Amino acid sequence: MTLNAAIDRSLVVPNVRLGHRHRAVEQTTLAGGKGVNVARTLKTLGQPVIATGFAGGATGTRIVEQLTRDSILNDFVRIAEESRTNTAVFDPTNGVQTELNERGPAVAPGELELFRDKLLYLARGADIVVLAGSLPRDVPDTVYADLVRDLHKVGVRVYADTDGEPLRHVLRAEVDGVAPNQLEAEEVIGHEFAGDEDRALAVGELLDLGLREALVTLPDGCVAGVRSDAGGGGLGTATADATRILRARIDPRETVARIGSGDAFLAGYIAARYEGRPDEDALRFAVACGADATQRLGAGLVDPRQVERLQHEVEIEALARPDD
Ligand SMILES: O=P(O)(O)OC[C@@]1(O)O[C@H](CO)[C@@H](O)[C@@H]1O
């Protein structure tokens, strides 16, 4: 689910200098926004998925048409204002990535209500819902939290990938899982993490709020806090309450672009959980998806054969939960 869907333009521009004119040497244009990217990866991995959210104006039509062209099932609410276009610039000379994201359209209360009805209808045929990305204008910061409560009533598992206030609210609504990057996690926890010990402490704190899975993504993998009933035995089966904290690591590689690698990571994790794979396997698969996504220009693009190969390169280590 992507409330603030976008057309993503990705440009490769060598030697970027602020205040200068540049020529792109390569470019791609894809339907985007974090939930759209998650859907693209899931589709590529052969998992059943429907992308939903808001689409407005000519840009919204383009988002829907691109998804349909790529055979990604979609069901968006059409809105009056125009969907956004985001631009990411990659400088291959130093690996620096710069993102310029528009705020997005204003959404009227009636449009939000229509969306809520649609989501709850679609959720009746789903096991897992992913709420991802920033919010468009005029949508309250509590929207993800409200939707989590609604979705729990229909019995689906909900993951959220967002930041700032919407993340704070969704944590209080006992969302099942979150996957912030380190910066987003530091912001919500309230201090910087110096290393894995701090990250372990942070995912422990997130689990204490009632989450089943807290995944802090890192350039070389992730630190994951997982309750013992989070996966493995199928969705929502066991009730035991033990938690594990795991560090998954892959050797860093040269990247083409990092945009959307966190979305590919989350899609890989969800695909593995949907198949009932245990903690370590799910994390290996997720990190492999995230790493493979950095080898391509365009968010959410993975090659399943490469993912298969890369997952054997992921090392997993159990971390102790530090005393708080
Ligand atoms: O502005 P948001 O919603 O936080 O992020 C949107 C975005 O930058 O994230 C994706 C990559 O993760 C891109 O497809 C998209 O343009």
Please check whether residue 56 is in contact with residue 105, taking contact to mean a CB–CB distance below 8 angstroms.
yes
Of ligand 1's atoms, which has the minimum distance to the CA of residue 134?
3
- Report whether residue 37 contacts ligand 1, using a CB cutoff of 6 Å: yes
- 12 lies in some domain: yes
pLDDT tens track for 231-258: 644 443 334 458 999 999 999 888 888 8
- 324 lies in some domain: no
- Report whether residue 263 contacts ligand 1, using a CB cutoff of 6 Å: yes
How many domains would you assign to the chain?
1
pTM: 0.95
Pocket probe for ligand 1: among 99, 100, 130, the residue whose CB has the most ligand atoms within 8 Å is 99
Of ligand 1's atoms, which has the minimum distance to the CA of residue 4?
3
- 51 lies in some domain: yes
- Looking at residue 323, what DSSP letter applies? P
- Report whether residue 101 contacts ligand 1, using a CB cutoff of 6 Å: yes
| Residue 144 domain boundaries | 6-318
| In the chain, beta strands by DSSP E | 6-12, 26-32, 51-56, 74-79, 84-91, 96-100, 128-132, 157-161, 177-178, 213-218, 221-227, 243-249, 315-319
- 323 lies in some domain: no
pLDDT tens track for 181-238: 999 999 999 999 999 999 999 999 999 999 999 999 999 999 999 997 666 444 433 3
- 135 lies in some domain: yes
CATH of the domain at 28: 3.40.1190.20
- 249 lies in some domain: yes
The amino acid occupying position 190 is G
- 1 lies in some domain: no
Report yes or no for ipTM above 0.95: yes
For ligand 1, the distance from its centroid to the CA atom of residue 133, given in whole angstroms, is 6
Please state the length of the chain.
324
Q: Which residue has the higher pLDDT, 235 or 295?
A: 295
- 66 lies in some domain: yes
Residue-by-residue DSSP string for 213-279: EEEEEETTEEEEEEETTSSSSSTT------EEEEEEE------S--TTHHHHHHHHHHHHHHTT--H
